[in-house]
Amino acid sequence: MTGKKKLVIYIFVIMTSLWTCVSVFQTSDIRERLHKSVINFIVGTGLSNVSPCKNIMYENDMSFQWKVIFEACPVITYLAQNDGILDIKSSDSTKNIAYAYPGHFAKNIHWSGAAQNMFFTARLFENSDKDILKFCEEENDNYNKMLAENNAVNSKNNVENAVADSSSEPSDDKNTENNNIQTSANQLSDNSSALQSPALSSNLSLIHQLKKTKSRSFLLKNFYITDSSTSIDNEIFNVSKLLNKDLTLEKKDEPQILIFHTHGASEAFIDSRAGKKQDTIVGVGSRLAYILRKKYGYNVIHDTTPYDLIKGNIDRNKAYNNAADGISETLDKYPSIQVVIDLHRDGVGNNVHRLTTINGERTAQVMFFNGLSRNSSGDIDYLFNKNLQSNLAFSLQMKLKCMENYPDFAKPVYLKSYRYNMHLRERFLLIELGNENNTLQEAKNAMPPLADVLNQVLEG
């Protein structure tokens, strides 16, 4: 057979095949099945709304990850360009395909993580699956409202309006949070079981003996842990002065409390999700700020700056110097701030779990911390702190109030050598909350009792 005849036969076979395919695919049943298969694929992988995908596709600063997605998955590009012609129903024609997110096999697709981020906004409004709805609520929980409120309060030009705007939250979420705060308030006021506890009786006995004897040795033995890096100046630990220091604060409209986190970028909890700021000590600080504002009426600024993130890297050693600059600037701008709280999550490097139970809830314990500007040889002159005794009075009075109200909530006050920026205000608290073995919820559960105790000390 000549080459020309072979070519004709090949062309005939190809044309016949193409004609057959065209005829078959014109069958409505086949087209419908193919259409449903594509829709089911979209459902299964979580690509339930192509509009965000379309927006991303035409962004000038598209990330490398998305460029790979569009190059590797032509179907995504097709969907983004032709979203108007797609049926928005799944194969059973009863559910929006958004309902199925993230899909029964989405985890097996290498780009599903990106899809998860891409469709977050759509899920908030379209998804009614209980597990996914719970996740969405967590993503869009009160942290986001609190953070928005913090940014408003921190606004350079309009503090008063920012505080007023903090009440303009979505009604459902606001009611939920207010109900949570009210529930916590009801629980905090019901200490009948705690009043019967041996721990409380022991605490009250210790406090009574301290006030009666004014003994420095009794104070140091029962209420403090002294780190080996420092030493005690007996003149500073004057029991009467520490107990009788007036720390009351009259509430005013201008900012009065500042919360920040020296190690905000590096302190999270055992179940915190990577990259989620609301799962770190910063998110817990937002809850504290929210309670102090909503329940107790304080004007609070929450500084969410990650002071330990320096030039893109975690540097805990330089974090205190970095924080000093930022905090000083805020205090200069708002001299009305009289209370400063540096909220940390402690790190113990072992399996110790700092946990108590308050009103039936697993709650992370707190530990108040003081820097004495003093090593084992004596005072560190270049770290002079004119507010040292006031700092000590504040932490001690907080510790005593914890002992009176929540018997096992506060560990002994920890004393260490350096200054830790505590010289910036008389009412300066450095708080170690739980440790790396606590859960995020345990940390959050500690905020209502902590806010309650702080309010008691400030009200006198």
Give per-residue pLDDT as tens, 310-358.
888 888 889 999 999 999 999 999 999 999 999 999 988 777 888 999 9
Q: Look at the pTM and tell me if it is higher than 0.85.
A: no
Torsion over CA: 421, 423, 424, 428 (sign): positive
DSSP tag of 353: -
452 versus 25: the higher-pLDDT residue is 452
Task: Kindly state the average pLDDT of the residues 25-48.
Answer: 52
Neighbours of 133 (CB within 10 A): 13
Residue 423 pLDDT exceeds 70 = yes
Instruction: Report the mean per-residue pLDDT for the chain.
Output: 74
CATH 3.40.630.40, applies to 160-459: yes
Residue 159 pLDDT exceeds 80 = no
Identify which of 107-111, 150-154, 230-234 has the greatest average pLDDT. 230-234
Task: Kindly state the average pLDDT of the residues 127-156.
Answer: 52
Task: Kindly state the average pLDDT of the residues 219-244.
Answer: 95
The token pair at 426 is 């008389």
Residue 375 pLDDT exceeds 90 = yes
Please confirm whether the linkage preceding 407 is cis (ω < 30° from 0). no
Give per-residue pLDDT as tens, 85-131.
444 333 333 233 333 333 333 333 333 333 433 333 333 333 333 44
Structural domain boundaries of the chain? Answer: 25-139, 160-459
Please enumerate, as own/partner, the contacts of 395-398 that have beta carbons within 8 Å and a separation of 24 or more. Answer: 395/368, 395/369, 395/370, 395/429, 396/223, 396/242, 396/243, 397/242, 397/243, 397/245, 397/247, 397/457, 398/368, 398/429, 398/453, 398/454, 398/457
Give per-residue pLDDT as tens, 380-417.
999 999 999 999 999 999 999 999 999 999 999 999 99
| pLDDT, position 276 | 86
Confidence of residue 283 (pLDDT cuts 50, 70, 90): very high
Please tell me the distance from the alpha carbon of residue 343 to that of residue 288, in angstroms, as a whole number: 10
